[in-house]
Chain A
Amino acid sequence: MADFGYTIWILILPLVTFVILGLFGMKLKGRMAGLTGTASLAVITALSYTAAISYFTGGGLVDGVYQKIIPFNSVWLNLTDQLHIDIGLLLDPISVMMLVVISTVSFMVHIYSLGYMKGEKGFERYYAFLSLFTFAMLGLVLATNLFQMYIFWELVGVSSYLLIGFYYDRPSAVAASKKAFIVTRFADMGFLVGILLLSFTTKTFDFVSLTSLDGPAITSTGGAVFLGMSLMTWSMLLIFIGGAGKSAMFPLHIWLPDAMEGPTPVSALIHAATMVVAGVYLVARLFPVYYFTAPEALHIIAWVGALSSLLAAIIATTQTDIKRVLAYSTISQIGYMIFALGVSGYGDHEGLGFMASNWHLFNHAMFKALLFLGAGSVIHAVHSNYMTDMGGLRKYLPVTNITFLIACLTIAGLPPLSGFFSKDEILTAAFHHDKILFAIEYAVAGLTAFYMFRLYFSIFHGVDRHYHHTPHESPAVMTIPLMVLAFGSVFAGFLPFSKLVTSDGVPFESHIEWSIAIPSILIGLAGIIVAWVMYKKENPIPDRLASTFRLSYKWAYNKFYFDEMYIFVTKKVIFKHISHPVAWFDRHVVDGTMNGIAWVTQSVSSMIKGFQSGQLQKYGYVFVTGAVALALLFIYIL
């Protein structure tokens, strides 16, 4: 086994960079802060790739099984001999894969931001937060135990909050950052309770012992039964709620579209490629526990993923803000990954869904980051987020046009681009598991192709709009990351993923099942053609369709009124009927009691304070009178 001791630097470097940029960033001139952050990320990326290559080329393989390697571990909080919280690094196929994903996308975003954020107020603050985020995300995937993961999970949430609210002088950005933080925090409460229940049953936080087949989690009988489900199932479901919050799964997805208020590279990094897949990673990390002890939870996960992907895809077809389209597309694609985990089995070819989910995660990170960065390039050129303000941009933005087209083709699932392979494996896994779920995901595949090409044609084709100034291609510092990510999107499909990332660590052979692949290509093509007919040239078809299906269009356009429902439930129900009475009770009864006690004490004391006059003669008078009275008492009565 190779020595992986150097992987500790993958965690230390971004933290150091964050501290340096946070403390001394203001002193750095011009782009120095950005260059510092980017240089540190370059080293991290190099280390991650070194680790990945040496892990997958034999460093992690013992007897044909990928091992879980812990190159560093130390006890952080030693509460009792049994209960201690460790901080360490865990290398296994999924965490090593995530290292590659995070460092690649983060590195690209760092470079891209040098151009995109040039001259912005708070440039060094931006890079400090990016480093913080990278640190938190890397710590999350490298965590050796649930508690460490939870710590970094929250750190990720904080840095996401900070970056969404980067333009803190815009009220909408502030509102969006608060919304994202509160919704994910709400979900994390479920996560925390789940962790506590799980560790109560299994007496451990450690991933290695949780997921080992003879470990305490998988051999447990599931614990007490509550509301028809075992304690283990409940705890795993609660943990999934945390994951669903971070991954913006239905019905906790409402924060993600609003999170697009942040700078576009941040959306690419956090809200498309890395943080939002934390939920997928969490389920994948605990997958054996889900599969063996909580199959009901896994079933629910499959349905949540499928519904999220369907609803988000429908909403995406009606939105006009290009970043929001991409946000809903992200929800839809993460739904795919969650769904794939939900329909997966364990071990060998049964674990196809697991492999496909991680593969899709990998590919999605590449092409979705590419889409967002491309969108950023477009927004940079046009100074608008709305596709109604765009059209015919292919003449002005040739590089963005081609890379964006590649990303759209990839997400639509056309061979031989990477999206095709992973989507095909997901659909294959679904087909062998549940036909209804398969049908849903199959429809989503068509919808995905449609809305992506609706976006593509609206931006790059059609008629020119009246631009304030002629749009121009972005500088090389922005287009090079686009090209690198496009390269990744095209060729990631050729990675032998089933030999690298599997549910039980044993490599297996996977093949394309053409009986499923061909229909999925066809529906992708159908989606593209429909979009071509409707949006290639300006024509009345979309408006006519919208007015024909006015009601359903309106529903989808207003995102199925989820935000309104949340507002109704929180403001009209919870605030009005619970919070207000409780606040009243607190203000009047609890505070009133305390104020009353204080008032009585004060008035009594002011009444009796005259007794303590400080005049010794008065005291003496009382004393003498008392002494005489006592003397008389003793003499004449007793």
Chain B
Amino acid sequence: MNPGIPLEFYLILASAMFFIGVYGFLTRRNLITILMSVELILNSVNINFLAFNRYLFPGKLDGHFFSLFVIAVAAAEAAVAIAIIINIYRRFTTINVEDVNSLKY
């Protein structure tokens, strides 16, 4: 990371990614897009971790560890989520969340 880039840039990037992710999560009806939005949110958090680690505790690695941990969890989550999505598709032949409502009311 270039020390010439100030911390605010990273934070702006991270929050932009976060809100794009939230927006996608709330507005999309396609399950895969929703999953992608969740990944965006997680990655914005990773950027935050790394940025703060670099600027506040340059000699330590805690932020790196957390990011790696989040990436591992995200991978696992993606695997599970995609498995669910595939099953939903087989069952309903759609991955639109609004059509998957047979247990509602």
Contact surface of A with B, Cβ cutoff 8 Å: 609, 613-617, 620-621, 624
Contact = CB atoms under 8 A, between A and B. Distances in A.
Interface stretch (B6-14, B46-54, B79-87, B96-104): B96-104
Contacts of A609: 105
A620 B101 contact: no
B56 interface: no
Contacts of A620: 22, 25-26
B35 to A, nearest CB: 13
Interface SS of chain B: helix
B101 A614 contact: yes
B5 to A, nearest CB: 25
B26 A615 contact: no
Q: What are the 3 closest A-B residue pairs judged by CB atoms, nearest first? A: A614-B104, A621-B26, A617-B26
Contacts, number: 21
A617 B97 contact: yes
Contacts of B101: 614
B104 A617 contact: no
Contacts of A617: 25-27, 29, 34, 97
Nearest to A620: B26
B15 to A, nearest CB: 12
Interface in B56-105: 97-98, 101, 103-105
Contacts of A621: 26
Interface residues of B, number: 12
Contacts of B104: 613-614
Interface of B: 22, 25-27, 29, 34, 97-98, 101, 103-105
Nearest to A625: B26
A620 B25 CA distance: 8
Contacts of A624: 22, 26
A631 to B, nearest CB: 12
Nearest to A616: B97
A509 B26 CA distance: 111
A624 B19 CA distance: 10
A609 B25 CA distance: 24
Contacts of A616: 97
A112 B91 CA distance: 82
B25 A615 contact: no
Contacts of B105: 609, 614
A613 B105 CA distance: 8
Nearest to A617: B26
Nearest to A622: B26
A499 B84 CA distance: 101
Nearest to A614: B104
A610 to B, nearest CB: 10
A401 B85 CA distance: 102
A7 B104 CA distance: 73
21 contacts: A609-B105, A613-B104, A614-B101, A614-B103, A614-B104, A614-B105, A615-B97, A615-B98, A616-B97, A617-B25, A617-B26, A617-B27, A617-B29, A617-B34, A617-B97, A620-B22, A620-B25, A620-B26, A621-B26, A624-B22, A624-B26
A125 B6 CA distance: 105
Nearest to A627: B22
Nearest to B101: A614
Contacts of A614: 101, 103-105
Contacts of B103: 614
A621 B29 CA distance: 13
Q: Most A CB atoms within 10 A — which of B26, B34, B98, B104?
A: B26
A314 B34 CA distance: 101
A165 to B, nearest CB: 54
Contacts of B27: 617
A160 to B, nearest CB: 59
Given A614-B101, A616-B97, 9 more contacts: A613-B104, A614-B103, A614-B104, A614-B105, A615-B97, A615-B98, A617-B97, A620-B26, A624-B26
A621 B34 CA distance: 13
A617 B97 CA distance: 9
Contacts of A615: 97-98
A609 B105 CA distance: 9
Nearest to B28: A617
Nearest to B29: A617
A609 to B, nearest CB: 8
A619 to B, nearest CB: 10
B99 to A, nearest CB: 12
A620 B34 CA distance: 12
Contacts of B26: 617, 620-621, 624
A616 B101 CA distance: 12
Nearest to B25: A620
A168 B16 CA distance: 89
A624 B97 CA distance: 19
Q: Which of the listed residues A615, A616, A617, A621 has the most CB atoms from chain B within 10 Å of its own CB?
A: A617
Contacts of B25: 617, 620
